[in-house]
Amino acid sequence: MGFNKNVGKTIAVYSFVIGILYAIFGILEILVGWGDLIGTGVSLIQPIELAGVNVVPPDVFGGIMLIIIGAVYLTGVRQQARGKREGLSFLLVGSLLAAIFFGVYVVILLANGVGYVFQFEDWLEWIWLDDLRPGIWLFLLALPGAYLALTKKEWRE
């Protein structure tokens, strides 16, 4: 039971790409943040900047969580490629986790905005672009998958 194999292969490729992206950015967050974790302050790789903005925050545990999301996507790839409906579960839950992390990071960004507006001491030098982490923009790539997993009810039969 499931869906057309060609459709399955397309979904599998999509899940694979999203899963790998989450895993890669998770690993990068770990490598950049490793120095902060062990107290040396020296990253294992150079900070990755785009137009002067840190694209990858130094966050070891945040990185681990991205890897977990990636692992959920990747676990379902084989079943999706075979056209099995069970594969859709991994796409759906991966997207759900991605949405939860997206939501949490956006709320934190907004809360930091409140701190900045009130000009509290810890937020004087806050820049909103610094809070625009991979957990936020990777979710935009995950959105189509979430939509398909929820709406294509015929794939579940």
Partner 1 sequence: MKAKEILGEDPEIVLADKRYDLISTILATSLVRGAKKWTLTDMLDKVFIHKTLGIPVFIALFWAMFRFAYDASAPFMEIIGLFFEKLAEASAGIPNEILASLIGDGIFGGLGFILTFIPPIFFLFLGISILEDSGYLARAAFIMDKIMFKLGLHGRSFIPMLLGFGCNVPAMMATRSIEGEKDRLITLLVNPFISCGARLPVYVLIAGAFFGSMAPTAVWSMYLLGIVVAILLALLLRKTILRGEPAPFIMELPLYKAPTFHGSVIHMWERGVQFLKKAGTYLLAGAIILWFLSTFPWGAEVELSYTGQIGHALAPIFSPLGFDWRIVASLVFALLAKEIAVEALGIIYAVEGVSAIEGALVASYNPVIGYTLMAFTLLYIPCVATIGTMKKESGSWKWTIFQLVLTLVLAYVVGLIITGIGAILGYA
Residues near partner 1 (CB under 8 A): 1, 36-37, 39, 58-62, 65, 68-69, 71-72, 75, 85-86, 88-90, 92-93, 96-97, 100-101, 104, 107-108, 110-112, 114-115, 118, 120-123, 149, 156-157
74: how many CB neighbours lie within 10 A of its CB?
19
Q: Can you read off the two tokens belonging to residue 46?
A: 């150079």
Q: Can you read off the two tokens belonging to residue 101?
A: 């992390």
The partner residues of 54 in beta bridges, in order of sequence, read 49
Cα–Cα dist 18/35, whole Å: 27
DSSP 119: T
Nearest distance from C-beta of residue 105 to partner 1, angstroms: 8
